[in-house]
A and B are shown apart, each in its own frame.
Chain A
Amino acid sequence: MTRLTFRALLLASTLSCAAFGAQAETLRVAMGYDPVSLDPIATSDNGSIWTQLLIFDTLVRPDASGEKLEPGLAESWTVSDDGLTISFALRDAKFSDGTPVTAEDVKFSIERAASKESSWGRFYRPITSFDIPDPHHIVMHLAQPFTPAFNNLALFAAAILPKAQVEAKGAAFFDAPVGSGPFVLRQWTRGASIELTKNPYYWQKGKPAVDEAVLEVVTEPSARVIKLEAGEVDVALDPPLNQLKELKAKPGITTGEVIPYRADFVQLNTRYAPLGNEKVRQALNYAIDKSALIKGVLYGEGKPAASAMPVMAYADPDLKPYPYDPAKAKALLAEAGYPDGFEAEMLVNSGIATQRNTAIALQAMLAQVGVKLKIQMLENGTQWSTTKAGNYQMSLSYATSDTIDPDQIIGFVAVNPERANAYHTEWKNERLNELYAQERQTVNGPERGAMFREMIQILHDGAPFIYLYHPATAWAEKDYVKGFSVLPTSNFRLEDVTIQK
């Protein structure tokens, strides 16, 4: 290097530093989850999904209302009347290293999502072939009708990755991923923070408004709030619900909340003797005072649940939750041959205060009808693997939908055999399975809606879960943060967020 260029470089770097210092705006968000991996086909935990959605794009994505899909990397699309052909026109987008996003990248990414290594393979395998007329157009073909196919392309698992780089780097690609989303990963310190900088090539011109975003991993909810008040972060996700009112009253802090596509419930292992009996399961549902739970545990921030399905597309507004009726619960238990109740063990995630509190309330409520609940607090991962292996009686849990079509989540919580065998309850209903197969081949419309409503009614009556509530998701932010919100799909976008100090 000659002396002159060295000097020029030095000067340039000094100048850019000065510019940086004057303008660089950083948005700091405290979140409760530590991402597991940034490989979209390998994960299903919220921390990973939310982070991926800031770095990668999908062809289409749910809009802010959660009711429709809006353009992502695809500018426009057409779905043929028989549902067997989906054509996309790609926009002029670039990955964060400046290479263009092409139809080859799309094909590669969807095939990867459908591969054996993918946890989400079944979502994409119905797409059997691709035509690429030019780098900006791709046509996907299905051998059989599969209505959720289009919607599944809006899932994080269908994130569009740069083919050449993933092939060259393999698994190492996801340690320093390159995507076409609004942000680029600068540094990931596991258990502590994810540092992002804005993607200079992002296709939404002028966005993101902030230069940098830091996701700080703070698992204790109260600690997130304290950090917000101390000015160490600008946004705190999931503050303790009991502190919301107090936070709202604080100067300089605003709060927001949505009820996302989420349902909380107790999984009942139907292989365990008393819980194999439908009357027992219904009795447990009648024994729970849901309005007391919402008042006492959620501090009013939620709605009672009628089934394990979130209230989303094709939901039946007339389906009523099980009323609180301990006398009926006792009568049903007696009919089922358990007049004196029974004992059961319930697994609870020790890391979430709301879950702990709900468990203690459920224990007291079920004791009223003679059911003795033993609480077993477990770490999140252990609870997950124990229920998956079927080694449990009851487990306090929940499900969230990552898409706006109910196919994903009903397949998860109600269908057996499927990915999770009715979310590990091993409950089975042939009529429901039949409807699930039909729904997937029926075009969107009232007919498909009726199928969903019948499935949810069957799920409600069969009660493989104790249905609890749809809790609100809250966040608190400094009042100079504008444009932040949590989406119905539980994730958040940062490209529209501005800091107005």
Chain B
Amino acid sequence: MLVLKNLLRSRAGAVGVAMLALMLAGAALVPVLSPWDGYALDFGAAMQPPSLSHWFGTDNFGRDILTRVLTGALFDLRIAVICVFGPMAFGTLVGLVAGYFGGRVDAALMRLTDVVWAFPFYVLVLAIVGVLGPSEANLYIAFFVVNWIGYARIVRGETILIARLEYIEATRVLRFGTFRVLLRHILPNAVTPALVYAMSDVVLTVQAVAALSFFGLGVQPPAPEWGILIVESIDYMREAPWMTLFPGLAIVWIGIAFSLMGEGLSTALKPKG
């Protein structure tokens, strides 16, 4: 809670949180407020430009784009959050263990990260989704396999630094258990840079999810995931540019929101004094 308070105190953080909150509020309220069904077809109303009744216009099936973009936020944010904070939890644990125990444990775990690191991000994700088949669950698996290493490396580095500090030395004298030291004294300090990194990772992940859907490897239609909205709009880009524009802006919006939150977090979590 303290973190959130500090986050809101920084201007960047406050704006970022507000932008995210606005998007989430829109997504939550759209079934209540929108007069349109984001899935029903109405060919008679196809490709209408933005107007008072359709703020973002309609797509080639006559579906309201505002409704679809806001509904899509639920897909993209859900996927991004699961694909970032899941691997983050695992990677943080690995980094803690590797950094604290050092020696062979560290060597083994870090070589494992090297192996995953050696493959370009998209190559690995595409390969995994390609083998398992396109679906939301397999998307999670692919991101889990690939995404944890960044966190493991960051947290390992921090842990090595922190483990040498005086207050950790002091825990040895006090004969605290290993778990207590790791989880209560090292983790809260080591996780800070990982959390800041996670904010930019969310941005990358939203883009990656959209890109995978673009290739037909992610979420399947008619889900209004933003990548799907964009791929569906390609052939209509010249007649109905709003079909591409608004989902694209939504991705940018979320990108800015999380980037600002990342900046705010790094200020908020900086040790005082």
Question: Is B121 part of the contact surface with A, judged by Cβ < 8 Å?
Answer: no
Chain B residues near A295 (CB, 8 Å)?
43
Interface residue tally for chain A (C-beta within 8 Å): 27
For B220, give its contact among A357, A364, A375 (CB under 8 Å): A375
Residues 226 to 246 of chain B near chain A (Cβ within 8 Å): 232, 234-239
> CB-CB < 8 A to A350: which residues of B?
215-216
Residue pair A361, B61 in contact (C-beta under 8 Å): yes
For residue B60, CB closer than 8 A to chain A, the reply is yes
Rounded to whole Å, the gap between the CB of B173 and the closest CB of chain A is 61
Whether B43 lies near A296 (C-beta < 8 A) is yes
A243 engages B235 (CB within 8 Å): yes
Chain B nearest CB: distance from A62 CB in Å?
A: 31
Taking a contact as CB atoms under 8 Å apart, the answer to whether A356 and B61 are in contact is no
Q: Given known contacts A296-B43, A357-B60, is B220 in contact with A243 (CB within 8 Å)?
A: no
Looking at the assembled complex, report how far the CB atom of A363 sits from the nearest CB atom of chain B, in whole angstroms.
Answer: 6
Q: Check: A116 CB closer than 8 A to any chain B CB.
A: no
**CB closest residue in chain A, given B43:** A296
Find out whether the CB atom of B235 lies under 8 angstroms from the CB atom of A360: no
Using CB atoms, name the residue of chain A closest to B219: A377
Render A369-395 as a binary contact track against B, CB cut-off 8 A, 1 for contact. Answer: 000001111110000000000000000
The 0/1 profile, CB within 8 Å of A marked 1, for residues 32-69 of chain B is 00000001110100100000000000001110000000
User: With contacts A242-B60, A364-B39 known, is A374 near B234, CB below 8 A?
Assistant: no
Task: For A292, list chain B residues within 8 Å (CB).
Answer: 41, 43
- A220 contacts partner chain B, Cβ-Cβ < 8 Å: yes
Give, as a whole number of angstroms, the nearest-CB distance from B247 to chain A.
16
> What is the CA–CA distance of A99 and B222 in the complex, to the nearest angstrom?
58
Cross-chain contact of B235 among A222, A363, A378 (Cβ < 8 A): A222
Contact of B221 among A220, A243, A359, A365 (CB under 8 A): A359
Name the CB-closest residue of B to A222: B235
Knowing A296-B61, A376-B134, the reply to whether A221 touches B235 (Cβ < 8 A) is yes
Shortest Cβ distance from residue B70 to the other chain A in the assembled complex, whole angstroms: 19
Q: How far is the CA of A4 from the CA of B236 in the complex (A)?
A: 63
The yes or no answer to A353 lying at the interface (CB within 8 A) is yes
Q: In whole angstroms, how far apart are the Cα atoms of A156 and B238 in the complex?
A: 38
Q: How far is the CA of A376 from the CA of B220 in the complex (A)?
A: 7
Q: How far is the CA of A379 from the CA of B221 in the complex (A)?
A: 15
What residues on B are CB-neighbors of A365 within 8 Å?
41
Kindly state whether residue A430 has any CB partner on chain B within 8 Å. no
Residues of chain A contacted by B232 (CB below 8 angstroms): 356-357
A134 at the B interface (CB under 8 A): no
Is A246 in contact with chain B by the CB < 8 A criterion?
Answer: yes
CB of A240 within 8 Å of the partner chain: yes
Q: Which residues of B contact A356 (CB under 8 A)?
A: 221, 232
B61 touches A243 (CB 8 A): no
Beta-carbon contact of A246 and B239 below 8 Å:
yes
B239 and A242 contacting across the interface, CB-CB below 8 Å: yes
Residue in contact with B236 in the complex, picked from A242, A364, A377, CB distance below 8 Å: A242
Q: Is there contact, CB below 8 Å, between A220 and B43?
A: no
Shortest Cβ gap from B7 to chain A (Å)? 39
State whether A377 touches B41 (Cβ < 8 A).
no
Chain A residues near B43 (CB-CB < 8 A): 292, 295-296
Give the docked Cα–Cα distance between A357 and B46 (Å): 13
- Measured in the bound complex, the distance between the Cα atoms of B236 and A333 in whole Å is 37
A361 to B41, CA, bound (A): 7
Contacts of A242 on B, CB cut-off 8 Å?
60, 235-236, 239
CB-CB contacts of A443-461 with B at 8 A, as 1s and 0s? 0000000000000000000
Quick check: B46 and A240 within 8 Å, CB to CB?
no
Partner of A353, one of B41, B215, B234: B234
- Collect the chain A residues with CB atoms within 8 Å of residue B222's CB: 360, 363-364, 375
Interchain CB contact under 8 A, A222 and B220: no
Q: Measured between alpha carbons, how far is A459 from B232 in the docked complex, in Å?
A: 34
- Chain B proximity of A368: nearest CB distance (Å): 10
A301 to chain B, nearest CB (A): 14
Q: Give the CA-CA distance A295 to B61 in the complex, in Å.
A: 11
Report the bound CA distance from A365 to B40 in whole Å: 9
A220–B234 touching, CB < 8 Å:
yes
A21 to chain B, nearest CB (A): 36
The interface residues of chain A lying within 8 Å CB-to-CB of B235 are 221-222, 240, 242-243, 353
Report Cα–Cα, A374/B215, bound state, in Å.
18
Q: In angstroms, how far is the closest chain B Cβ from the Cβ of A291?
A: 10
Please indicate the chain B residues that have their CB under 8 angstroms from the CB of A357 in the complex. Answer: 60-61, 232
Docked-complex contact B41 and A296, CB < 8 angstroms: yes
Q: Are A379 and B216 in contact (CB under 8 A)?
A: yes
CA distance A222 to B235 in the complex (A): 6
- Counting chain B CB atoms within 10 Å of each CB, the highest count among A220, A356, A377 belongs to A377
Chain A residues whose C-beta falls within 8 Å of the C-beta of B46 in the assembled complex: 296
Name A193-218 residues within 8 Å CB distance of B: none
Minimum Cβ distance to chain A for residue B65 (Å):
15
Q: Is the CB of B134 within 8 A of A377?
A: yes
Given the complex of chains A and B, what is the CA–CA distance between A365 and B61 in angstroms?
12
A residues near B234, Cβ cutoff 8 Å: 220, 222, 353
18 new A-B contacts at CB < 8 Å, known A243-B238, A357-B61:
A221-B235, A222-B235, A242-B239, A246-B238, A246-B239, A292-B43, A296-B46, A350-B216, A353-B234, A356-B221, A357-B232, A360-B221, A364-B40, A365-B41, A375-B221, A375-B222, A377-B221, A378-B216
> 3 tightest CB-CB pairs across the interface, nearest first?
A350-B216, A296-B43, A240-B235
Residues of B that sit less than 8 Å from A by CB: 39-41, 43, 46, 60-62, 134, 215-216, 220-222, 232, 234-239
9 sample A-B contacts, Cβ–Cβ < 8 Å, listed by A number: A221-B235, A243-B238, A243-B239, A360-B61, A365-B41, A375-B220, A375-B221, A375-B222, A378-B134
- Chain A contact residues, CB within 8 Å of chain B: 220-222, 240, 242-243, 246, 292, 295-296, 350-351, 353, 356-357, 359-361, 363-365, 374-379
